[in-house]
Structure 1
Amino acid sequence: MSQIRVDQLTKRFGSNTIVDELDLTIEEGEFVVLLGPSGCGKTTTLRCLAGLESPEGGTISFGDKVMYGGPKHADVPSHKRNIGMVFQSYALWPHMKVRDNIAYPLKVRRQKDALRSGAVEKAAEMVDCGALLDRYPSQLSGGQQQRVAVARGLVSEPDLVLFDEPLSNLDARLRDQVRTQIHQLHQRLGFSAVFVTHDQSEAFALGDRLAIMKGGKLEQFETPQRVFDEPASDYVAAFIGMGNKLELTRHADGWRTSNGDRIDLGTRSPERGGVEKVTARLRAADLRLHRAAEEVPQGSVLLHATVVTTEFGGRHHDVLVDVDGEKLTLQADTREHGSWLPTAPEGTPVVVSLRPSDVRVFGEDGWAIADSQSPLQVGDTAGANAR
């Protein structure tokens, strides 16, 4: 099928607007992930696509067929939209064997030819459940039940497959396995899909594009690489893992933190034009820990800090440090720091470094500043002003 279009979609519950004039286009064969925290409108959007909720405004079109809205005020029921759904709770019929659960969409749509041609068996084999067809759901593990649910969602070759946080009830190992299987199936079959999650790792792994939602609206709709490299707003940056935050205020001699430390945003610093406050963000993995300033690589930004707390994370330690009153998190390599860091008392002086290119800068309105790729110098620059 061709494009799936959502135009000006609005959904309210009472006086609360959950989806607010949302525009979304899903290309044929595209895997779109709706990403965001609880209450942002992602699941409600999915349910509107499925026909499980009736919006208050806007249109939903599958190719040239209007599913909701339009001049004729269409509202096509769910069972006539040719969709497949995979739910968080598996939603398998407990009194039916696996074979009958997978076959259910074919029977509802009266696709007798598909039933006779072995579509159920083929769908089960796609998810490695061919040997489970004569078992009941109660005889399956959680991972097996979710794979059966995926097979049921794909068996009728729907125009659109909708995934409502299908991995959240699985343990970490099974979550990774089923996620990989969904990704492989999409690569092989090329179905169009919308996948709802609050987990950024799932979103980056599966999505052709990520639709990051806030308050029922799209905050950013881009490829995973573009979202990772160039988050459109402070909200997006924080949600995708840029948890380290420095609030900066413009002074006569440049930018300073709330504690008065001078920060140089470089030659491409925002022009005055009303920009008097910015937020600098970076990821924990972008910070490096050192015991002395002399260890900091040439050209990196250098921060003097003290240790607050340390947690063992396997190949790294998760470290919280204090930089002149600002708390930053980082990951310290166990092989490099494992001999001293676990027993370092609170207040131990350390040095933190970062690459200027890893920093992103956002204005007071929360949106990225166009020249946020510019170098950022905080305190000293290694090799120039090391103390």
Structure 2
Amino acid sequence: MTSPFTVAGLTKTYGSNVVVDQLDLEIEEGEFLVLLGPSGCGKTTTLRCLAGLETPQGGSIAFKDHLVFDGRTRRNVPPHKRNIGMVFQSYALWPHMTVRDNIRYPLKVRKRKQAIAEGAVEAAAETVDCGALLDRYPAQLSGGQQQRVAVARGLVAQPDLVLFDEPLSNLDARLRDQVRLQIHQLHQRLGFTAVFVTHDQAEALALGDRLAIMKSGKIEQYDVPEQVFENPISEYVAAFIGMGNRLELHRGHDGWSTSAGDALDLTHAVVRDAADRTTSAVARLRPDDVSLHRSIEEVPSGNVALHAELITYEYGGRHFDVTVKTGTEQLALRADAAEHGSALRASASGAEVVVSFSPASLRVFAADGAAHAQEPTAPPATVGGHA
């Protein structure tokens, strides 16, 4: 059975630069799909192709069995006829219009007079807690208020698809968390279908029913958040999803070891495909999975212990962000302030320390970091209710 929203072989180039490369994508009704990746990976261009704001060179886009773009026949439905809602990074509110008029605009261009008469504008404003702001102008609003108005405008016409182009990027940390929670609650309550672009893994994990991790115009991994977090398909995905620590591994006659020569048993590690058939590999792990110790005797049984030297530390309230060096590589970790604060403050750069981690926290990849073939995982049965 075909998904309601499908993208097949989508290609977009600028001159000789391929920005979206033969991309395939399926979006389920009521699903909140997040396109995640660094700048230049093609995620925003993909979103703009869905919106009709960019014209691809090839492929097709279908909304509910209706082609809105077809590279073979050159069919290209304009944005205002695609029944989409759009929430931009820059808010994109009309400065000369009141909040009421900004929210009403999508209904006006669709000639939905009855919806306006029945209070759709006011209802949309209330869903984002902006009912008291309807007669103000954008310049009279805070950044958080402007973005909530933009969300109301994107939802007011009950579009087939709502597109979010990094809508939280211009907000400070506190407002970003507030608006993110509000978008999540709205999706749970209203069940709209959405594609959300971000480079922030925390946003992606919090909001997405599925994540599409993009690299060089292609999808590197397409899966539910839990699978992407626990089982990244490539070193690229692992690094982007928070496994910032990298260890180069080498296999000799006595087994695997780090660049510093420490033995490393990979029996309980998660090893991707070809990594176990080579003499060199790369391991990734999260800072939260690395522990700091004063001596080797403190290391829990079963953990890998590494002798290291202290590089730097930064106070973070209840923890310290610590950087150590082992061999040629640096590792980041978080140390409990109550347990390690006094010792860290008394230590100089270069002091000898011990760090450890469970082998099960490692994700090991072939040294070339390449991904291997993966079938997309379907979203949970309760689409729209991702916690």
TM-score (norm 1): 0.92
1:277 is matched with which residue: 260, 280, 284? 280
1:290 is matched with 293
2:310 is matched with which residue: 299, 307, 311? 307
> What code does the residue aligned with 2:294 have?
R
- Rounded to whole Å, the distance in 2 between the matches of 1:368 and 1:361 is 12
Runs of 4+ residues deviating >6 angstroms: 267-273
- Rounded to whole Å, the distance in 1 between the matches of 2:88 and 2:239 is 28
- Rounded to whole Å, the distance in 1 between the matches of 2:231 and 2:244 is 15
The question of 1:229 aligning with 2:227 is answered no
Deviations 1:178-198 (A, max 9, x none): 000000000000000000000
> What code does the residue aligned with 1:193 have?
A
1:364 is matched with 367
1:361 and 1:368 in contact (8 A); partners too: no
CA RMSD of aligned residues (A): 1.9
Q: Is the alpha carbon distance of 1:124 and 1:295 closer, same or farther for their aligned partners in structure 2, counting shifts above 3 Å?
A: same
- Rounded to whole Å, the distance in 1 between the matches of 2:230 and 2:36 is 17
Q: Shift of the alpha carbon at 1:152?
A: 0.2
The question of 1:29 aligning with 2:30 is answered yes
> What code does the residue aligned with 2:325 have?
D
2:264 is matched with 263
1:36 and 1:198 in contact (8 A); partners too: yes
2:7 is matched with 6
- Rounded to whole Å, the distance in 2 between the matches of 1:260 and 1:369 is 29
Q: Shift of the alpha carbon at 1:10?
A: 0.2
1:336 is matched with which residue: 331, 334, 339? 339
1:352 is matched with which residue: 355, 364, 384? 355
- Rounded to whole Å, the distance in 2 between the matches of 1:11 and 1:144 is 34
Note the 1:128-147 alignment, pairs <5 A. Answer: 128-147=129-148
How many pairs does the alignment contain? Answer: 370
Deviations 1:342-386 (A, max 9, x none): 23101222111111111100013314699xxxxxxxxxxxxxxxx
2:323 and 2:333 in contact (8 A); partners too: yes
- Rounded to whole Å, the distance in 1 between the matches of 2:43 and 2:212 is 9
1:73 is matched with 74
Q: Is the alpha carbon distance of 1:242 and 1:76 closer, same or farther for their aligned partners in structure 2, counting shifts above 3 Å?
A: same
Q: Shift of the alpha carbon at 1:252?
A: 2.4
TM-score (norm 2): 0.92
Q: Is the alpha carbon distance of 1:340 and 1:24 closer, same or farther for their aligned partners in structure 2, counting shifts above 3 Å?
A: same
Deviations 1:68-100 (A, max 9, x none): 006643200000000000000000000000000
Q: Which moves more between the two structures, 210-219 or 264-273?
A: 264-273
- Rounded to whole Å, the distance in 2 between the matches of 1:64 and 1:263 is 53
1:312 and 1:318 in contact (8 A); partners too: yes
State the identity as a percent. 67
1:360 and 1:368 in contact (8 A); partners too: no
1:189 is matched with 190
- Rounded to whole Å, the distance in 1 between the matches of 2:361 and 2:280 is 20
SS at match of 1:264: coil
Q: Shift of the alpha carbon at 1:277?
A: 1.5
Q: Which moves more between the two structures, 355-364 or 16-25?
A: 355-364
Deviations 1:52-83 (A, max 9, x none): 00100000000110010066432000000000
1:381 is matched with none
2:216 is matched with 215
> What code does the residue aligned with 1:117 have?
E
1:105 is matched with 106
Q: Is the alpha carbon distance of 1:104 and 1:273 closer, same or farther for their aligned partners in structure 2, counting shifts above 3 Å?
A: closer
- Rounded to whole Å, the distance in 1 between the matches of 2:161 and 2:192 is 7
SS at match of 1:263: coil
2:49 is matched with 48
Q: Is the alpha carbon distance of 1:351 and 1:369 closer, same or farther for their aligned partners in structure 2, counting shifts above 3 Å?
A: farther
Q: Shift of the alpha carbon at 1:264?
A: 3.0
Deviations 1:15-72 (A, max 9, x none): 1000000001000000000000000000000000000001000000001100100664
Q: Shift of the alpha carbon at 1:272?
A: 9.1
Q: Shift of the alpha carbon at 1:105?
A: 0.3
- Rounded to whole Å, the distance in 1 between the matches of 2:37 and 2:172 is 21
1:7 and 1:60 in contact (8 A); partners too: yes
1:174 is matched with 175
SS at match of 2:342: coil
Gaps of 5+ in 1: 371-387
The question of 1:317 aligning with 2:320 is answered yes
Deviations 1:274-302 (A, max 9, x none): 52211011000000111112212222111
2:274 and 2:366 in contact (8 A); partners too: no
- Rounded to whole Å, the distance in 2 between the matches of 1:244 and 1:271 is 21
Deviations 1:287-321 (A, max 9, x none): 01111122122221111111110111111100001
Q: Shift of the alpha carbon at 1:249?
A: 2.0
Gaps of 5+ in 2: 374-387
2:274 and 2:365 in contact (8 A); partners too: no
1:162 is matched with 163
SS at match of 1:134: coil
> What code does the residue aligned with 2:43 have?
K
SS at match of 2:179: helix
